[in-house]
């Protein structure tokens, strides 16, 4: 199978998974909502003229952009189902452009600010994506984004004996990619959170309802084994827990 065919299959999986769970996303994506609130603290006031949000989903971060006047707003997401929910739930200004598709392969230009909340981990080649976004920015343009570090769901991967199906890079790796793609690092921060669930089944349901559970990587017997293993190793009196490592970055294009 050719690399491009693999890429297409990956796109189709993401489109299907996120579109199918778009209606339940906001109810279960409490962590992503919290990340959006934290990332919004990095927004400049006032906002610059032309803004692009990639992976906007149902609009958890878009809401923060809409608290300020915007000259032009471009909203992108790979999943049409997500964009449908966003357009139905938010009152968008008339100067908004909806741009569906994979942001890694769309050509953007003349942007002053690019934003991405909990998106970069889905990219096949985040460094290449940042190079494209750097080229899409005007002089002194900025990129702010949040993503997940390698400690994210470490318990899940240990219990299932699986590698992460998405790209989870440490801070040094991100620093290298940021420099090599033509950005200067203005600010970064990291949070480690342990979130509790009543059971491992509840954790899996939460991941599934936001379109992010890699259950298809396991057969039925493997899934039952995972649940037993997770409950036995990571259970407390408060329930089972899962770790998330959250990164926040603010970059500026180097001239």
- Tell me, which fold does domain 3-152+166-194+245-253 have in CATH? Rossmann fold (3.40.50)
Residue 5 clears pLDDT 80, i.e. is over it: no
Residue 10 clears pLDDT 90, i.e. is over it: no
Q: Please name which of 26, 75, 69, 20 lies closest in space to residue 48, comparing C-alpha atoms.
A: 69
Residue 163 clears pLDDT 80, i.e. is over it: no
Q: What is the pLDDT of residue 210?
A: 82
Pair type for strands 111-117 and 137-148? parallel
Residues 76, 65: Cα–Cα separation, whole Å: 14
Residues 55, 101: Cα–Cα separation, whole Å: 9
Residues 170, 60: Cα–Cα separation, whole Å: 25
Categorize the per-residue pLDDT at 13 as very low, low, confident or very high, splitting at 50, 70 and 90.
Answer: confident
Q: What is the pLDDT of residue 213?
A: 57
Q: Where are the domains of the chain?
A: 3-152+166-194+245-253
Lowest mean pLDDT among 64-73, 201-210, 246-255: 201-210
Q: What is the pLDDT of residue 226?
A: 85
Q: Please name which of 82, 68, 65 lies closest in space to residue 210, comparing C-alpha atoms.
A: 82
Query: Averaged over 147-163, what is the pLDDT?
Result: 88
Lowest mean pLDDT among 69-78, 88-97, 134-143, 205-214: 205-214
């Amino acid at each position: 199978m050719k690399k491009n065919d693999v890429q297409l299959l990956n796109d189709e999986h993401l489109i299907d998974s996120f579109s199918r769970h778009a209606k339940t996303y906001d109810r279960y994506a409490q962590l992503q909502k919290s990340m959006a609130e934290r990332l919004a603290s990095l927004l400049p006031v006032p906002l610059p003229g032309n803004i692009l949000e990639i992976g906007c989903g149902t609009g958890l971060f878009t809401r923060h952009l809409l608290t300020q006047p915007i000259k032009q707003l471009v909203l992108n997401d790979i999943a049409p189902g997500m964009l449908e929910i966003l357009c139905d739930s938010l009152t968008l200004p008339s100067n908004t452009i909806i741009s569906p598709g994979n942001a890694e392969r769309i050509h953007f230009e003349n942007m002053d600010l690019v934003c991405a909340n909990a998106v970069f981990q889905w990219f096949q080649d985040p460094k290449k994506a940042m190079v494209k976004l750097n080229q899409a920015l005007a002089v002194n343009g900025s990129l702010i984004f949040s993503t997940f570090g390698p400690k994210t769901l470490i318990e899940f991967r240990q219990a299932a004996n699986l590698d992460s199906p998405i790209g989870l890079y440490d801070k040094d790796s991100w620093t290298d990619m940021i420099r090599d793609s033509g950005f200067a690092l203005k600010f970064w921060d990291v949070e480690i959170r342990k979130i509790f669930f009543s059971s491992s089944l509840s954790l899996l349901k939460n991941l599934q309802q936001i379109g992010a559970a890699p259950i298809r990587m396991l057969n039925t017997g493997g899934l039952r084994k995972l649940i037993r293993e997770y409950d036995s190793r990571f259970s407390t009196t408060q329930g089972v827990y899962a770790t998330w490592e959250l990164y926040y970055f603010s970059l500026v294009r180097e001239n």
